[in-house]
């Protein structure tokens, strides 16, 4: 009956899986109510979406006739796309010129004019074009597509169409690179879609093979795998039903749930095989196994849920979502391990020739016990030394929020964006938005001149190499119209007198000045900054703008994609500390409830805190930074590794009532728990290590350091726990003397 019910629910749960969505968009990371996101959304409302497709390429003969014709042909083809409203390029921008005494809107580069040097000089003289459509050296150019519909799937379909255009024969002889927010999010979505499936398949195959090799029985190996698969299906179905989206963080949820469920299943399976191998009745073996392991498995799963639940308090949406569904999935896995798995075991055959690893048949448990007890003081001192080195390493940890460096150096998206940063001054500017008190105040010559005063102060900030604004655009057009350089009001009226035309410079103006002219935008181009570098830049801008704002009666905000992403820095730093603290407190309470002794709780938590500190220390010493992947390591490692500690201490507690001689207790614990603890540790390590094949470096480091942490946790469980128990004085002196002899 249990199998039928679970099967029916699983069939229903498969339906929502078809509607799982993949997204790494900015709005999927931050709560909309956050002030820094509200500022950015307000900026987008006034100056238009910055979700664009940018094609960049380099050509030493860019201003030759062939180079210009190629650019013009490509611009024309792209402009013909139904979802493209405008194209900004060398040959796609129109500027006003004086024809006699009448200003006329015409291409900046007039077709048929073959004066290459004149073309180049004309373009480079327009400062608004520098790092917008042309590099400073005049050898690299960008073609920016402004889309009518920037939402998915229309923007992604447009991107695919652009790729097809670039494959045409007339454009194949150049290396084109696609950059901008749309290509980047598209590449990340494709990456997470591919790697979510890849990780799960690799994990499934490796762990199935491990279980089959270990138990030498395909059915015994498949029963826990089936239980884990059902756990993943139910959990991801809930994920889809509530409308959550898969990204690079939540994409590892299926693998983690598969591993967590198998870890509990292995404890049950090993105990069941031992019972049935000792000639117990099958039903009796299932009943006794479930009875003996229910309590430790319940608390081990509760502690794992507590560790995952710590992420619920983090205000980064992917990390919070990760915490919610790993916690939910862990609860589901526990229910299925004590309902579905026992029901499946009813159909198992008596394991003929299945060798279960048991330390009772050899002297290894006694040798290990004797060694640990003999050198327990050295173990404690070594642990203290490792702890000290780890603390120093942790002090060296830093946070990285540059999304580009999260990709491996060989990834095409990283290569394209690094070239954009090399040829131009970046593609994710810092936006300075100046707001006047009344509409129209920035239209006047006097007030735009005051805006120019602000920009003059920017020249003293070394972090700023170039910026774009309405003032720079109007000054350049004044030269084309042969008007005084400071006749901003006259140029403004000339520009706004033209009807809307594709490629018109009035479109440029709207990028930097709102139609009612109550807001002006200064787009500052810098290299990608760390959080501290950006804070220094913001302080310099504040020192300039605060006094001027009072004098000139304006307000300002600093926003843009880069400042929004840099807010991840503080969230990651808080997330790291908060997740460890919350998981530590909750797990400590769970262990205290389980064993009802403070020293037991301390003994249980210490061997799991030390591996985390050791792992973080190694990260600090090796220069690995805290990012959206590695921030998960500590709490997840604590939640998973604590399971084996609970099983170890629970078995030791049971032995204490049967045998007062400590050597015998440790020998018995090693004999009964050695195999499941070692097997689950190997299983978890192999499950996480598959993530080294990711192209996303935070996930690579996540897999490596969680696996490393599990190895450390295994060593501390087998060596440090007995050393602590035998040294703390929790037992009476006469028994300790027996232990020492």
Maximum CA extent, the chain: 112
Domain membership flag for residue 13: no
550 C-beta neighbours (distance < 10 Å), count: 9
Task: Identify the top-confidence range among 442-451, 539-548, 578-587, 656-665.
Answer: 539-548
Q: Give residue-wise pLDDT tens across range 389-438.
A: 999 998 888 776 667 778 888 888 888 888 888 888 766 688 899 887 65
For 39, the enclosing helix (H) or strand (E) is helix 35-47
Secondary structure of residue 138 in the 3-state scheme: coil
Distances from the Cα of 289 to the Cα of 1, 272, 360, 399, 408, angstroms: 20, 6, 19, 46, 47
Classify residue 6: in a domain, yes or no: no
Question: Do 591 and 300 meet the contact criterion of CB atoms below 8 Å apart?
Answer: no
pLDDT at 297 over 50: yes
Element (H, E) at 646: helix 633-656
pLDDT in tens, 308-360: 888 888 778 888 899 999 999 999 999 999 999 999 998 887 665 545 444 44
Q: Are residues 540 and 580 in the same domain?
A: no
Which pLDDT tens digit goes with each residue over 672-728? Answer: 888 888 888 999 999 999 999 888 888 899 999 999 999 999 998 888 888 888 877
* Burial of residue 85, with CB atoms counted within 10 A of its CB: 0-12 exposed, 13-18 middle, 19 or more buried: middle
Q: Are residues 368 and 278 in the same domain?
A: yes
End-to-end CA distance of the chain: 56
Same-domain status, 455 and 382: no
Which tokens sit at 74?
Answer: 């490509």
In this structure, what CATH number is given to the domain that contains residue 512? 3.30.70
Of the candidates 334, 195, 320, the one whose C-alpha atom is nearest the C-alpha of residue 257 is 334
User: To which residue do tokens 């790494």 refer?
Assistant: 24
Query: Does the pLDDT at position 372 exceed 50?
Result: yes
CA distances to 7, 265, 601, 641, 676 from 605, in Å: 38, 23, 6, 10, 20
On whether both 173 and 191 belong to a single domain, the answer is: no
Among residues 511, 533, 559, the one where a domain terminates is: 559
Burial of 661 (0-12, 13-18, 19+ CB in 10 A): exposed
Q: Which residues contact 12 (CB under 8 A, 6 or more apart)?
A: none
Same domain, 195 and 167: no
Tell me the average pLDDT across 129-135. Answer: 85
Find tokens 């229903």 and name the residue.
Answer: 12
At 720, which CATH number? 1.20.1640.10
67 found inside a domain: yes
Strand (E) or helix (H) holding 698: helix 697-715
Predicted pLDDT at 171: 80
Which H/E stretch holds residue 124?
helix 116-125
Q: Which helix (H) or strand (E) holds 478?
A: helix 470-480
Alpha-carbon gap, residue 317 to 29, rounded angstroms: 5
CA 670 vs CA 29, 362, 558: distances in Å? 46, 12, 61
Where residue 440 falls among pLDDT bands split at 50, 70, 90? Answer: low
**Which SS3 state, helix, strand or coil, does residue 191 take?**
helix
| Domain C-terminal end among 160, 179, 198 | 179
> What percent of the chain stands above pLDDT 70?
89
Tally helices (H) and strands (E) across the chain.
Answer: 26, 12
Q: Is residue 258 located within the same domain as residue 371?
A: yes
Say how many domains are in the chain.
3
What is the DSSP pairing of strand 430-436 with strand 519-525? antiparallel
What pLDDT sits at residue 8?
A: 93
Most confident of 276-280, 402-406, 478-482: 478-482
Are both 548 and 585 inside the same structural domain? no
Residue 113: predicted pLDDT:
57
211's tokens: 């279980």
**Does a structural domain hold residue 419?**
no
Same domain, 164 and 216: no
Residues 191, 175, single domain; the answer is no
- The answer to the question of residue 48 being in a domain is no
- Tell me the pLDDT tens digit for each residue of 499-554: 665 455 556 777 888 877 778 889 888 777 767 778 888 889 999 889 888 887 88
Indicate the residue among 141, 158, 179 that finishes a domain: 179
Q: Which domain range does residue 543 map to?
A: 429-559
- Cis peptide before 153, with omega less than 30 degrees from 0? yes
Instruction: Please compute the mean of the pLDDT values over residues 50-70 and round it to a whole number.
Output: 86
Pairwise CA distance, residues 305 & 326, whole Å = 8
Q: Do 548 and 694 fall into the same domain?
A: no
CA dihedral for 102, 103, 109, 111, sign (positive or negative): negative
Q: Residue 180, Cα to own-chain centre: how many angstroms?
A: 19
In a domain? residue 421: no
Reported as a pLDDT band with limits 50, 70 and 90, residue 738 is very low
Which positions ≥6 away from 142 have C-beta within 8 Å?
Answer: 54, 55, 56, 89, 132, 133, 134, 420, 424
Reported as type and span, the H/E element at residue 325 is helix 317-337
Residues 313 and 338 in one domain: yes
Q: Which ranges constitute the DSSP H helices of 553-597?
A: 561-595
- 219 in the same domain as 149: no
Phi, psi of 624, deg, nearest 5: -80, 130
């Amino acid at each position: 009956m249990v199998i039928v019910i679970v099967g029916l629910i699983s069939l229903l749960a498969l339906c929502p899986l078809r509607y799982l969505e993949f997204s790494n968009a900015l709005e999927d990371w931050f709560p909309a109510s956050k002030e820094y996101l509200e500022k950015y959304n307000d900026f987008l409302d006034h100056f238009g979406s910055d979700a664009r497709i940018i094609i960049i390429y380099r050509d030493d003969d860019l201003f030759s006739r062939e180079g210009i014709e190629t650019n013009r042909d490509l611009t024309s083809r792209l402009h013909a796309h139904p979802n493209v409203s405008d194209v900004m390029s060398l040959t796609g921008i129109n500027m006003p010129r004086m024809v006699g005494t009448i200003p006329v809107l015409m291409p900046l580069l007039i077709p048929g004019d073959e004066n290459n040097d004149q073309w180049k000089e004309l373009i480079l003289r327009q400062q608004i074009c520098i790092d917008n459509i042309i590099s400073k050296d005049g050898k690299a150019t960008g073609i920016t597509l402004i889309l009518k519909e920037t939402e998915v799937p229309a923007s992604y379909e447009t991107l695919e169409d652009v790729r097809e255009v670039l494959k045409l024969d007339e454009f194949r002889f150049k290396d084109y690179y696609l950059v901008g927010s749309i290509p980047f999010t598209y590449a990340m979505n494709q990456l997470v879609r591919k790697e979510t499936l890849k990780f799960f398949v690799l994990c499934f195959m490796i762990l199935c093979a491990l279980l089959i090799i270990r138990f030498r029985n395909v059915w015994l190996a498949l029963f826990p795998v089936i239980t884990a698969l059902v756990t993943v299906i139910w959990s991801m179905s809930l994920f889809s039903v509530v409308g959550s989206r898969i990204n690079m963080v939540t994409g590892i949820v299926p693998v983690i749930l598969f591993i967590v469920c198998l870890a509990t299943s292995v404890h049950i399976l090993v105990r069941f095989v031992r019972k049935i191998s000792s000639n117990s009745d099958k039903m009796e073996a299932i009943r006794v196994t479930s009875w003996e392991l229910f309590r430790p498995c319940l608390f081990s799963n509760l502690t794992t849920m507590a560790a995952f639940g710590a992420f619920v308090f983090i205000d980064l949406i992917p990390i919070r979502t990760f915490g919610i569904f790993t916690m939910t999935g862990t609860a589901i896995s526990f229910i299925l391990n004590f309902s579905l798995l026992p029901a499946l075991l009813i159909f198992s055959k008596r394991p003929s020739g299945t060798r279960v690893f048991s330390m009772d048949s050899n002297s290894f448990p006694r040798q290990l016990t004797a060694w640990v007890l003999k050198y327990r003081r050295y173990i404690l001192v070594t642990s203290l030394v490792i702890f000290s080195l780890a603390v120093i390493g942790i002090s060296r940890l830093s946070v990285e929020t540059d999304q580009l460096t999260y990709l491996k150096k060989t990834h095409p998206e990283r290569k394209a964006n690094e070239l954009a940063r090399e040829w131009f001054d970046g593609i994710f500017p810092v936006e300075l938005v100046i707001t006047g008190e009344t509409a129209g105040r920035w239209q006047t010559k006097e007030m735009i001149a005051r805006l120019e005063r602000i920009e003059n102060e920017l020249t003293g900030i070394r972090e700023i190499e170039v910026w774009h604004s309405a003032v720079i655009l109007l000054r350049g057009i004044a030269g084309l119209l042969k008007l005084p350089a400071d006749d901003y009001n006259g140029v403004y009226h000339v520009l706004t007198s033209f009807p809307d035309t594709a490629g018109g410079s009035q479109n440029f103006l709207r990028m930097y000045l709102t139609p009612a002219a109550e807001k002006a935008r200064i787009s500052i181009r810098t290299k990608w900054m760390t959080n501290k570098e950006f804070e220094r830049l913001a302080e310099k801008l504040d020192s300039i703008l605060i006094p001027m704002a009072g004098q000139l009666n304006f307000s300002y905000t600093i926003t843009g994609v880069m400042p929004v992403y840099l807010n991840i820095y503080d969230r990651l730093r808080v997330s790291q500390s908060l997740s460890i603290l919350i998981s530590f407190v909750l797990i400590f309470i769970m262990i205290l409830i389980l064993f009802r002794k403070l020293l037991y709780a301390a003994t249980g938590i210490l061997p799991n805190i030390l591996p985390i500190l050791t792992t973080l220390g190694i990260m600090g010493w090796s220069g690995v930074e805290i990012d959206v992947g590695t921030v998960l390591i500590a709490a997840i490692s604590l939640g998973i590794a604590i399971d084996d500690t609970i099983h170890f201490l629970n078995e030791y507690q049971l032995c204490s009532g049967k045998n007062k001689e400590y050597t015998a207790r440790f020998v018995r614990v090693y004999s009964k728990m050695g195999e499941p603890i070692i097997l689950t540790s190997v299983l978890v390590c192999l499950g996480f290590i598959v993530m080294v094949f990711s192209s996303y470096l935070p996930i690579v480091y996540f897999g490596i350091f969680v696996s490393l942490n599990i190895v450390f946790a295994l060593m501390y469980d087998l060596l440090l726990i007995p050393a602590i128990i035998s040294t703390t004085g929790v037992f009476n002196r006469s028994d300790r003397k027996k232990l020492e002899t």
